[in-house]
């Protein structure tokens, strides 16, 4: 939940002065001079002319604003305090651009996630991308997007922003647990539960599209699943307007050679001629078509994510470099319905109707995909409800069963009579066939 207080009306000095008056009254004698001496000024050094960063002259990061409330001889006293506001606890994740840490907000008394720009990546381009991400998230208000609570500069001069913390796990972690045969994970994340997670993701992406934004980096690592069913889509750092021109901020490639063969290079956001995560890019994104990308690119990426969540493997796992993946994306067809790709030890085969659904999302020709995430979302809701087209023998039988069940609920007696009649007819046919075969 977003914080209602953003510090917009009062600075640190104003707050200390306001609380100091109350403290003086309660303590019976504390003077304004004493309170002024206790308060810490927010003096700033001149800004860095290259990055625009400003550091505090006292070498500290953001400090607490709220006073401590103490009981002194039965009287409530407000005591000014100056402590580090966001106390770092542990690293939650790292990327090429920054690091995300769990921290404790000493003012509000809650856990928060703090994303910091890496100190070496303080070029104007890196800072501009950071600002873009902050303002992109700031214009989005949806349950599937973690809100930003605060922005600032730490003691080392690194920009950071503070956002809601979800005590959960990434979809990437969940896939790894399922892939390893974790029985608890398989019991919790049935195919229906996995479908529900993807529906939540699509709902969030549809909202972003309604605001004119493409995410461009949909992948399991960017989806957080909370302990109470929350599903949040994170990392909006390369989101851009739908159908817009090329990135206003020119990309940098500071992470090494394109031909690196580590899997981390393939599942992390890559900047250079193409922008995104190679294994989850659409074919047009892999071709470097930054101009005019539309909703169908996110449709494709969401399809790859869903495929991996269902089958627990990626169709391009055998490709070990960025160029190889970008090339394969132009020609490789999605796995066939009857291929063994859909079968994985430790779980049942992926339902046929979900296989058909994913294959449409992964069409190389964007004209053959859903033309919007809204269409994709509506179709998946129908599939989950059992209302899907008969595209193979398995889906034909399931569709027939789905259509028959409401009739059985409404007319149970007729259903029983019909079943008995069917059994009688089959028995008679079997007897006749046996008679003919025996020649009696």
pLDDT of residue 291: 77
pLDDT of residue 399: 62
pLDDT of residue 31: 41
pLDDT of residue 19: 36
pLDDT < 70 regions, the chain: 1-60, 96, 119-122, 244-274, 388, 391, 393-411, 414-415, 418-419, 431, 433-435, 437, 439-440
Backbone angles phi, psi at 140, to 5 degrees: -110, 130
Place of tokens 């605001």: 211
Query: Domain limits of the chain?
Result: 12-164, 169-388, 398-438
Of 107, 217, 235, 298, which residue is the catalytic one?
A: 217
217 is catalytic: yes
- Alpha helix (H) residue ranges in 219-370: 263-267, 283-286, 295-311, 322-328, 352-361
Nearest in space to 209 (alpha carbons), one of 2, 369, 375: 375
Strands (E), 106-233: 110-117, 148-153, 159-164, 169-170, 213-214, 223-225, 231-233
Looking at domain 169-388, its CATH superfamily turns out to be: Transferase(Phosphotransferase) domain 1 (1.10.510.10)
CATH architecture of 12-164: 2-Layer Sandwich (3.30)
Interatomic CA distance for residues 293 and 246, integer angstroms? 9
Interatomic CA distance for residues 384 and 377, integer angstroms? 11
């Amino acid at each position: 939940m977003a914080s209602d207080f953003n510090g917009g009306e009062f600075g640190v000095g104003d707050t200390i002065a306001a609380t100091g008056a109350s403290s003086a009254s309660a303590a019976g004698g504390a003077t304004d001079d004493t309170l002024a001496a206790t308060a810490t000024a927010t003096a700033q050094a001149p800004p860095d002319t290259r990055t625009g960063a400003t550091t505090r002259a006292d070498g500290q990061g953001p400090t607490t604003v709220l006073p401590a409330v103490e009981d002194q001889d039965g009287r409530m006293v407000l005591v000014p305090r100056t402590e580090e506001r966001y106390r770092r606890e542990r690293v939650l994740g790292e990327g090429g651009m920054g690091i995300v840490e769990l921290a404790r907000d000493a003012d509000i008394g809650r856990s928060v996630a703090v994303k910091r720009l890496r100190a070496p990546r303080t070029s104007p381009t890196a800072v501009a991308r950071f600002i873009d991400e902050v303002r992109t998230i700031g214009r989005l208000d949806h349950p599937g997007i973690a809100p930003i609570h605060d922005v600032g500069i730490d003691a080392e001069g690194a920009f950071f922003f503070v956002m809601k913390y979800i005590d959960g796990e990434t979809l990437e972690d969940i896939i790894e647990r399922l892939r390893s045969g974790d029985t608890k994970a398989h019991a919790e994340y049935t195919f229906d539960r996995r479908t529900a997670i993807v529906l939540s993701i699509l709902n969030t992406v549809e909202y972003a599209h309604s605001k004119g934004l493409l995410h461009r980096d949909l992948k399991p690592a960017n989806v957080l699943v909370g302990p109470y069913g929350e599903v949040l889509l994170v990392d909006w750092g390369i989101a851009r307007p739908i159908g817009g021109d090329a990135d206003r901020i020119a990309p940098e490639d500071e992470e090494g050679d394109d031909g690196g063969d580590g899997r981390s290079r393939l599942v992390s956001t890559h900047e250079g001629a193409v922008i995104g995560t190679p294994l989850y890019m659409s074919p047009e994104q892999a071709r470097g078509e930054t101009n005019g990308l539309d909703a169908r690119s996110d449709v494709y990426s969401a399809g790859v994510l869903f495929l991996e969540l269902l089958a627990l493997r990626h169709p391009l796992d055998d490709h070990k470099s960025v160029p190889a993946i970008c090339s394969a994306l132009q020609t490789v067809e999605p796995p066939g319905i009857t291929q063994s790709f859909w079968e994985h030890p430790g779980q049942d085969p992926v339902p046929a109707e979900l296989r058909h659904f994913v294959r449409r999302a992964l069409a190389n020709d964007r004209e053959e995909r859903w033309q919007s995430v809204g269409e994709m979302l509506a179709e998946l809701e129908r599939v989950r409800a059992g209302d899907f087209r008969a595209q193979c023998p398995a889906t034909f039988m399931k569709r027939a069963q789905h259509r028959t069940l409401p009739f059985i609920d409404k007319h149970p007696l007729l259903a029983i009579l019909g079943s008995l009649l069917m059994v009688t007819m089959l028995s008679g046919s079997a007897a006749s066939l046996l008679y003919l075969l025996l020649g009696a």
